[in-house]
Amino acid sequence: MAAILPQARDAIAFARAGDISRALASGEAAVRLAPSDGGLRFFVGMLHTRHHDLTRAVPHLRIAAKLMTDTPIARLELARALIAVGRLDEAEETLAPVAAAGPAGRDLLGLHGLLQQRRGDHHAAIRMFRQAVHRDARDFENWANLGVSLLAIGQSTEAEKAFGDALELRPDLRWARIKRAEAAVGASRGEHALAKARAVADASPNDADAMLLVARIEELLDRPVQAEAALREALARDPRSAPAMIALATLAERDNRVEDCRKLLHRARAAGASVTETAILDARIALRQGDCATVMTVLRDAAAGIDPVARAELIGRCRDRAGDPEGAFLAFTEMNRHIAGQRADPAGEALAFRNRIDARRARATREWRQGWEDILPADRRSDPVFMFGFPRSGTTLLDTFLMGHPGVVVLEEQPVLQAAMDAVGGAVDDPAVLTAESVVAMRAAYFQAADRLAPDAAQKLLIDKAPLGAVEAALVHRLFPQARYIFVERHPCDVVLSGFMAAFDPRGGMANFLSLKDVAQLYDTLTGYWHHCRELFDLPTCNARYERLIVDPQAELGMIADFLGITVHAGMLDHRTTAGKRSHIPTPSYAQVSAPLHSRAAGRWLRYLPVLNDVMPILRPWAERMGYAM
């Protein structure tokens, strides 16, 4: 047996002491002296893995796998690292020689499950993870991975149980605890999970991690103010909690408090946060400054282990700004591929949503409308103004302008209409069947929800902004027959392209944004339904236009103000000040609305003509109908 090099002994000692940086330095020195030592290569590769530097881990593990032919462990760990960095085909080739019937069978099942999970085939992944935990019921890692795939296909209750089984075996598995909370929220048990998490946090007043879980659940429940309060409590418990600082920095960046974000990141790094942990936020701040060179450097240096969706999106933004539409489109395609992997059948969800709109349009005839029971609302509330459009059409920018008026309150993509539907048991597919009692109950629930969100809503002009709200145009008219509408238009090619380039939550109708063709088809379906409803119900509508708003906001706002019966207030013209006062902007446009007006995004589609050619037959008729140049 060859003697162990002194540098290798030092590396082992440092690793045992928890000093991974010094262990790596000694280990790399040893490798330079003995480059063909498989065991040493494996050890150094695993040190890099423990240090969250998979890019440096892979070359060592690759060599170890070639040298260590008497055991599959190097191949298994190499495959695990390759999966983590997205090299799925190479990972599959690496696993091919490993015998399924041997002692590595359970690990092999789990890794093949991970491969399928990363490829978006969650049903296949679930089968493999179930086989793995059947072989070894104490395999916490595969229990947790099973939970991830169950959650992706919408089986939230089963996912919650799988994460619970993993945590029974490994209570310190923080990420599984967070995912179990996500599953609880998905199973409509979010409030229960929050109460349980708060009870644990109260019983452990020095446990910062307990408050981190509370914060995550508050965020999942769309309560950013409460989430921030919980994170500050976590920091009070442990002033050096890097995870709490990074989570706070994330909220600060989302709320356009860039300087707060920078300070928190500086503190997090001082507390031991790695480059990988801060990379996405560092890159987002650099992008705000137009420093795409720094963005690309940060993302390259922390390529492995960071959120692949955010990474691909940032690369796409930089390549778009650099005048590289081909590279940008490839990056956004990669972004959407990763997002699609979070759902079991995103294409099926997208089609089902469009089919539902088509069915509503087919039912919405004049004969159907004439069969409605006329109902006069008995309450004394003025009907809201509804702002519809299409995601990425400019609704967030316009609502920020309108928020500057002291007599206006805007509800931005809040579930107030859902609260109305919940009052009668859920979704209302056919508004014609609603009775007078149902309408009264639904209006009351709507205004109660609005008043909770904006206590002064009854005293001001209420604008309910919902870009996809036109899906419910018939129901809205049934409940609010005196409502007025603002419909925000933007060049169809620009709005469809911009939608494809945004990282949306892929559930339900938003699954359409994962494919350029699906976005175009949704645009055609939804815009067609809106125009049909507008004509059928004679809806009073003001057509606002994004391109006019960014060139001459005063003129466009004057036209909208005349429609609304208000005067243009000075506060309406300073959208950046209004954006700075907003506590939270729950859309992908949060960074753009706080920036100076620019025309960079207008006419962007012309640079992407080669990739838009396939959807031009869908979009051209709408562009021509709206008077846009083609």
Supply φ then ψ for residue 37, to 5 degrees: -90, 100
Contact of 173 with 166, CB cutoff 8 Å: yes
What confidence category does residue 300 fall into, taking pLDDT thresholds of 50, 70 and 90? Answer: confident
Q: Is the pLDDT of residue 343 over 90?
A: no
Q: Tell me the per-residue pLDDT of 169-198, one tens digit each, with 9 for 90 and over.
A: 999 998 999 999 999 998 989 999 999 999
- At residue 235, the 3 state secondary structure works out as helix
Q: Which residues are CB-neighbours of 454 under 8 A, at least 6 positions away?
A: 409, 411, 460, 462
Closest by CA to 486, choosing from 558, 625, 388, 626, is: 388
Domains in the chain: how many in total? 1
- Rounded Cα distance, 537 and 221, in Å: 35
Q: Is residue 527 part of a domain?
A: yes
Q: Tell me the per-residue pLDDT of 8-32, one tens digit each, with 9 for 90 and over.
A: 999 999 999 989 989 999 999 999 9
Contact of 583 with 539, CB cutoff 8 Å: no
Do β-strands 408-412 and 385-388 pair in parallel, antiparallel, or remain unpaired?
Answer: unpaired
Closest by CA to 329, choosing from 499, 494, 500, is: 500
pLDDT score, position 600: 60
Contact of 484 with 541, CB cutoff 8 Å: yes
- At residue 544, the 3 state secondary structure works out as strand
Q: Is residue 246 part of a domain?
A: no
Closest by CA to 373, choosing from 272, 481, 510, 451, is: 481
Mean pLDDT of the chain: 91
Residue with tokens 């294409």: 347
Supply φ then ψ for residue 486, to 5 degrees: -110, 125
Q: Is residue 626 part of a domain?
A: no
Alpha carbon 36 to chain centroid distance? 44
Q: Tell me the per-residue pLDDT of 205-235, one tens digit each, with 9 for 90 and over.
A: 999 999 999 999 999 998 899 999 999 999 9
pLDDT over 70 percentage in the chain? 94
pLDDT score, position 99: 80
Contact of 261 with 293, CB cutoff 8 Å: no
Q: Tell me the per-residue pLDDT of 355-407, one tens digit each, with 9 for 90 and over.
A: 999 999 999 999 999 998 888 778 889 999 999 999 999 999 999 999 999 99
Q: Tell me the per-residue pLDDT of 64-114, one tens digit each, with 9 for 90 and over.
A: 999 999 899 999 999 999 998 888 999 999 999 988 776 778 889 999 999
- Say how many C-beta atoms besides its own lie within 10 A of residue 362's C-beta: 10
Contact of 489 with 546, CB cutoff 8 Å: yes
Q: Is residue 299 part of a domain?
A: no
Q: Is residue 272 part of a domain?
A: no
**What is the arithmetic mean of pLDDT over 488-517?**
95
Q: Is the pLDDT of residue 61 over 90?
A: yes
What's the whole-model pTM score? 0.82
Strands of the 484-489 sheet, one edge to the other: 408-412, 461-465, 385-388, 484-489, 541-545
pLDDT score, position 464: 96
Closest by CA to 314, choosing from 334, 287, 333, is: 287
pLDDT score, position 152: 86
- Say how many C-beta atoms besides its own lie within 10 A of residue 554's C-beta: 11
- Rounded Cα distance, 62 and 41, in Å: 9
Half-sphere exposure of 420 (CA within 13 A, CB side): 23
Q: Is the pLDDT of residue 592 over 60?
A: no
Q: Which residue range is the domain that position 375 belongs to?
A: 346-592
pLDDT score, position 577: 62
- Say how many C-beta atoms besides its own lie within 10 A of residue 583's C-beta: 9
**What is the arithmetic mean of pLDDT over 570-596?**
59
CATH for 547 = 3.40.50.300
Q: Is the pLDDT of residue 590 over 70?
A: no
> Residue 626 corresponds to which amino acid?
M
Who has greater pLDDT, 424 or 101?
424
Q: Is the pLDDT of residue 1 over 50?
A: no
Structure tokens at 173: 């598995």
Q: Is residue 429 part of a domain?
A: yes
Length of the chain: 630
Supply φ then ψ for residue 573, to 5 degrees: -90, -5
Sign of CA dihedral 104, 109, 110, 112: positive
Report the range of poorest mean pLDDT among 42-46, 355-359, 425-429. 425-429
